[in-house]
Structure 1
């Protein structure tokens, strides 16, 4: 059996110190529409930390190895692969898992040809965050040119992508929230947000209403959950879509939090919808891949969209890379190179 090197976890789950490079990991086989890709770089995501600890619901088709986004070159193609790909192509893509490794087996429906204008590191930082942002904007939030949108956790990977997508695709106004003035400045000056609000010092919902002449915003993308729920209802416009992607403030409403006004659902005809990406089937993820190509790829080539990278590590320093992610001090992607 062919083997490869891959990041593994001693005991199957544990702390950062449990991560190590296992040089006896079975190399994946391909079938149907899959390609075998030799990985050049991979991106870190917060789900990786949860999966390492055994706290993330991993899809049944995912390998045990961490990682969902990568860049590299095609080594082999199965018989049902998309016709646009060939051996040797430089690609980047999204997978159900397995990216912290030398090789990955992935559906060609989730691969994109890497433009020459992008480095391997930049390409590896695109798939998870940019596709998640596109899903929240278009497939859930029903974004169209001229709408207003707000991105919570404005310096997170998904919101960095989302603000650029919103500006680049014709939003009337783009707002963001963060927990520091420095990150607010980053959203406005580097990403093009109309305004950004520090949630620790500002009633951001009141500021959004003031900035929109009392109308509120058409789309809110929320990862915080209970802590922002009531303010989301205040800041939302009529017929708004609130897209919830995580609950970083915990799974339950707290007594100390602002009490939500549930009449807003009826008065404003609101839709509050939760969503995920990794659990979606291949067809759904393939449609999102097409959104990425349609709405972002040319702008990456022209330099209008930028992959903001916080730091690049050699993959042998995966423990340090995950420690940096766990610190919550970043304003961009953490990338590992092989």
Structure 2
């Protein structure tokens, strides 16, 4: 049975047209017309550019301004090129365009060139396309802190999710009706949320105070936004102490979230010492990647607090690796 027979017998079902959804964005994406308008033609001889449908005129494609009947009446077919516009017998439509007060291009012997409005070179690049279509918002104060090179990538991503409040906490799942009830796996008192996990819960707060004492920081347990703003203000810098403090803060948040998931989904028991030991290990491993650290009182105190190998204060010896 061919498709015509199926159509006659009504075997086809019409699906409802569902609106397109763009994950991760609450705003409408750029339309096809907006993106298309970023490409344009630089007229040379006009022989390769469509008169009606290509973006060569300052106002855009002419088919947006002239109906099909007007195009037919102009005597210029739908396949006409820009070069056809400048012939003597086509003065009528050319007169209409001249009345718009937008300058028409002058034909030359060179070839038509395809251009891109996204940058000054008029050459298309992915970076310029992204910069053109992306939605611009106010720059947040914590972006230089989270995306600093001293923080491991997975810690950065976790911090970014926390800052954007995109972690799948129990409070968020309850809000969207995905679960009926839940309690924080650490304290079993209230559903966990961003502010509760970092660091409103008495268990996670104790781990945060442990981290602050090891870093010799004057820690005050406030809301997550206040804690992040504090870290973005006081933990910035290129010296060894600030780099380790930033890294360990990212690790602190990462292992709290990881241990929370292990309790909920792997049925592991709560173990605060395990979280602390994991934090100590990754800080020590990170610190040993440094050499020739300034031997100051603050760096020595940090080294003793975390139990870091004092080799960090010596210069790196390359003789072993180079065979000298």
| TM-score, structure 1 normalization | 0.21
The structure carrying a bigger helix percent of its residues is 2
The structure carrying a bigger strand percent of its residues is 1
| TM-score, structure 2 normalization | 0.22
The structure number with the bigger radius of gyration is 2
